[in-house]
Amino acid sequence: MSIIRKGYVDTPDGQIHFRQLKQVDGVPLVLLHQTASSGMMFEPLMTLLSDSFHTLALDTPGFGASFSPPSLFTVHYLSSTLHAALTNLGVESCYLFGHHTGSAIAVQMAHDHPNFVKKMVLSGPPLLNEAQINGLKASLKPFAIAEDGSHLTHVWERIRKRDSALPLETVHREVLLTQSAREAAQGAYQAVFEQPFKVQLEALEIPILVMAGEHDTLRASLEPAYSILKNGTMKVIPNQGPYICDQNPQAVADVIKEFCS
């Protein structure tokens, strides 16, 4: 039976919580989650990959059970902290999989540590144009606890709107993780807006696969991201949305196995 083990690793600013499933040796596969989730979103995927990869899923600072970051943080800060965590876990090089914000962190990490990442899969790469950024900014609301609990129903409705087919248990998980992240969720979006993602991505020479579900909220970024890759591949997964790692982990596992083998 595949047992996902949980633990903490020290970094200069605090402890990072991680999930690990190691049944095989070899280059680890590191999984970086979206905002405002946690490594929990990768548990089904980790199980499906256990026969091929040693997987590590980290909770980004401010999310899940990791420490809270400073009030103003950047993608560089998140990446540096997670890289420190991986180094302290004994990871010398890895494959990287990032979903949405996780893709932004993955690109930053590969940019800052050129010999660390061997191959990278970016699911919903956030190569955002000005209109997309302005639309996302308009949707962000300051965190506040409402006496009538409407702060909970607001997030519930927003997540349901992203994917109406999402099981209620998954919606419930994501609502709780979003509320737990509090201001860090909005801070992570702002950090992505300010990251020079395009410049970093087009400079990378490692093999990169960009992918998205057909109905992903970042689907429109796929072709523009692919067009600037020096060593790139592109994949669209039919009939899938922004929660593809929950809804169809087998499809994601198949893509990763084929690309990183």
Measured between alpha carbons, how far is 192 from 7 in angstroms, rounded to an integer? 27
pTM of the model: 0.97
CATH of the domain at 117: 3.40.50.1820
Q: What is the mean pLDDT of residues 46-51?
A: 97
What total number of domains does the chain contain?
1
Provide the domain limits for residue 90: 5-260
pLDDT band with cut points at 50, 70 and 90 for residue 179: very high
Q: Using CA atoms of 224, 74, 87, 68 in order, give the dihedral in degrees to the nearest 10.
A: -130
Q: What is the pLDDT of residues 73-120, one digit of tens each?
A: 999 999 999 999 999 999 999 999 999 999 999 999 999 999 999 999
pLDDT band with cut points at 50, 70 and 90 for residue 149: very high
pLDDT for 241 = 95
Measured between alpha carbons, how far is 224 from 181 in angstroms, rounded to an integer? 31
Q: What is the percent of the chain where pLDDT is above 90?
A: 90
pLDDT for 1 = 65
Measured between alpha carbons, how far is 125 from 109 in angstroms, rounded to an integer? 14
